[in-house]
Amino acid sequence: MTEFLASDFLAMGGHGSFIWPAYAVGLIVLGGFWIASIRGLRAKEREIAALEKNTPHRGHTGNGTSS
Amino acid sequence: MILQQYANPARFTRLSDRLMPFIAWPAALFLAAGLYFALFASPADYQQGDTVRIMYIHVPAAWMAMFVYTSMALSSAVGLIWRHPLAHLAAQAAAPVGAGFTFLCLLTGSLWGKPMWGTWWVWDARLTSVLVLFFLYLGFIALKDAFDDPARGERAAAILALVGFVNVPVIKFSVDWWNTLHQPASVIKMTGPAIHSSMLIPLLLMAAGFTFYFGALLLVRMKTLMLARRARGMAMAQTGGHAAAGRPGTAEIAP
């Protein structure tokens, strides 16, 4: 067994400058979509909550969105 | 009809909230395991060296690009034919994510092409047809917002999704139909995978992770679009205007 060297691992056989950007873009795209989508959902939930406060009549609580 | 039951936005939201942990957790676990195998526990290729590790992002992204488009075309068809209220919504929630996967596929392909082919880009059949897929996604997104009447935009975009579906088999078989620089299929082929298990395992783990990730994201984004529709209806009702009649999720709010 050869010893694990962080510098060898990062070098990726001399192709590190292609491999790491590929993984970085993967992380940015997947992470970015997740964060943006969760934020979008929270913003809409706040909007609905604010609108519900201004609505005088009730009777549609069974919408499953605010509990 | 089971399908009609989930046409009810409230019921769909309840169901998706209950399903969420069973989709989001597998996504995280598959991606973590996939990354471990992709970066640590898999060998370098005898020809391509360590650049083969780009495959574990590139190929799942490419599969998802085609899978998401196919789902989008299917739900657009359901929306056009049966007018199921959630069908167009699902396609609209999926489109930007599909564009993201296609972008990721193109970019990682470029980063793989440079060291292995000596070029970032070549106008061959596989690469060009995937670029066309990317533009189809962008066209879908642009078209649905291009009309004052959202229902018309929805239909126009759905028709584009259906027409553009012809591109999906072209992508799949482009490496067989034309001489391309891109290598032919090595996993999904009649004679079984032509790839060693040490590389197939991380590839399938990442593909499973990407698929569950897409499922979780789709539910979040569909819920957001439903809430947006409700908020529009509520705002209209409050300002005394007419809530968009016949739009799902708004009619029940109208006074």
**Residue A38 domain-assigned?**
yes
CB contact under 8 A, A54 and B13: no
Residue in A34, A41, A55 nearest the CB of B224: A41
Chain B residues lying within 8 Å of A18, measured CB to CB: 51, 54, 111-112, 114-115
**Residue A1 domain-assigned?**
no
| Distance from the B191 Cα atom to the nearest Cα atom in chain A, whole angstroms | 30
Q: What is the pLDDT of residue B253?
A: 45
| Distance from the A8 Cα atom to the nearest Cα atom in chain B, whole angstroms | 11
**ipTM given for this complex:** 0.86
Q: What is the pLDDT of residue B19?
A: 94
**Residue A37 domain-assigned?**
yes
What is the token pair recorded at B74?
A: 């299917």
Check whether A64 has a pLDDT greater than 70.
Answer: no
Chain A residues lying within 8 Å of B49, measured CB to CB: 13-15
Q: What is the mean pLDDT of each run of 10 residues along chain B (255 residues)?
A: 61 90 96 94 87 95 97 96 91 97 97 93 94 98 91 94 96 88 85 86 96 97 93 84 48 43
**Residue A33 domain-assigned?**
yes
CB contact under 8 A, B112 and A51: no
CB contact under 8 A, A37 and B220: yes
Its pTM stands at: 0.87
**Residue A43 domain-assigned?**
yes
Q: What is the pLDDT of residue B170?
A: 94
pLDDT tens column, A2-59:
677 888 888 888 888 999 999 999 999 999 999 999 999 999 999 999 988 887 655 5
Closest among B48, B71, B24 to B186, alpha carbons compared: B48
Residue in A22, A38, A55 nearest the CB of B234: A55
**Residue A48 domain-assigned?**
yes
**Residue A3 domain-assigned?**
no
Q: What is the pLDDT of residue B3?
A: 54
Check whether A62 has a pLDDT greater than 80.
Answer: no
- Kind plus residue range of the DSSP H or E element containing B143: helix B125-144
Q: What is the pLDDT of residue B111?
A: 96
Token pair 């399938």: residue: B204
Q: Which domain holds residue A34?
A: 29-53
Total count of domains within chain A: 1
On whether the CB atoms of residues B16 and B93 are closer than 8 A, the answer is: no
Give the Cα-Cα-Cα angle B108, B110, B111 (nearest 5 degrees): 65
Q: Name residues whose C-beta falls within 8 Å of residue B195's C-beta, 6 or more positions apart in sequence.
A: B186, B187, B203
**Residue A41 domain-assigned?**
yes
On whether the CB atoms of residues B113 and B121 are closer than 8 A, the answer is: yes
Q: What is the pLDDT of residue B12?
A: 85
Q: What is the pLDDT of residue B246?
A: 47
CB contact under 8 A, B231 and A15: no
